[in-house]
Each structure stands twice: as structure tokens, then as C-alpha cells.
Amino acid sequence: MFRRKTWIVRVFFAVLPVSAIAEPLPNGAKTPTVAQVMSAYIGKTAIWDEGCQGGIYFGPNNQARAWCAQESESLGAGEWTVDAYGRMCHDLTWYWPNNGRAGSSPGEASCIQHVADRFGRIWRSYPGQTEWWPVKGDATLVRGYTYREQIMTTKKKLGI
């Protein structure tokens, strides 16, 4: 169980965007509104390419769903929230096959800090990093529920 949590945390940080150019804190950066951050994520999937071939979907009603091809018999289900300080967090419970039933364990909550620059563009910084990445145009954040079919199939197999 501990190895599964560690693997998920490693995958999350291994797939940080490398296609965009990181910058220091943008000039005139301020705390964005909750609505600004939510609109950057809602209805989109963050793709976890390297080491996973999956991602996390940020659905309406703050539902979050995650799946990785490397652990295709498992899925993550939980919620995502945005606080007044510009932090977007997701908190998932991971489910996997366990002697004909679904085993589960809570994952570690993960949060990403956001700021808005003087033009209203949203930037994010991952835990333990000082670089800031623009959210708009990030190829790892795509519109739609990319892994819906895989998640629904896995959910059915697990009986949840």
C-alpha cells in the first residue's frame, strides 16, 4: 500500500510540464480568484505522460478521477478544490483489485500554487519548486475527460 502511494506521488512530479518555459514569479503577480483557477482546470485532463500514460480529470462538482496505463487495474477517485490563496488541491482515494474485491487507500493530497500576472494570465508552481509555468497553452492540460472509458471499465471490474 505504501509503495502505491509513493509511486503515484513520483508519477505526479515526474510529469511536470517540460514543454513550457519556466520563469521566476511573474511581474505584478497577485492571488487569483477561485473562479480564475477553477476555469483553468474544470472539464480538462492533466496528462501524465512519462512513467504513467494516464492523467487526472478535473470534473464538475469538484470530482477528480485519475488513471494510469502502468497500473491499469487501479483508479483514483476523489475531489479537487481551489482555496482563496490560489491553491488547487486534489485528494484521491486509490482503488485496486484485492482478492476479488476492491482494495482502497487514501492518497496524499497534492496542491499546486497559482498566481495571476498583471494581464490576468494564470501561472502555477509545483510543490518544492521556485519556477512558475503558464497554465494556458500547456500541452499537458487538455480539454475533456480523456481517460473516461478506461476509468469506467476499471470501476466496473472493481465493482465500485
Helix, coil or strand: residue 147? coil
pLDDT in tens, 95-120: 999 988 899 999 989 999 999 999 99
Q: How many domains, the chain?
A: 1
Task: Give the Cα separation of 102 and 76 in Å (integer).
Answer: 12
> pTM, whole model, 2 decimals?
0.82
Owning domain of residue 115: 2-158
Q: Is the pLDDT of residue 6 over 50?
A: no
Give the helix ranges, DSSP H, for the chain: 2-14, 34-41, 148-158
pLDDT in tens, 23-55: 788 888 999 999 999 999 999 999 987 778 999
CA 157, 50, 70: angle at the middle one, nearest 5?
Answer: 25
pLDDT in tens, 61-84: 999 999 999 999 999 999 999 999
By DSSP bridging, strand 101-106 and strand 133-134 are unpaired
Q: What is the DSSP letter of 86?
A: S
Task: Give the Cα separation of 84 and 29 in Å (integer).
Answer: 15
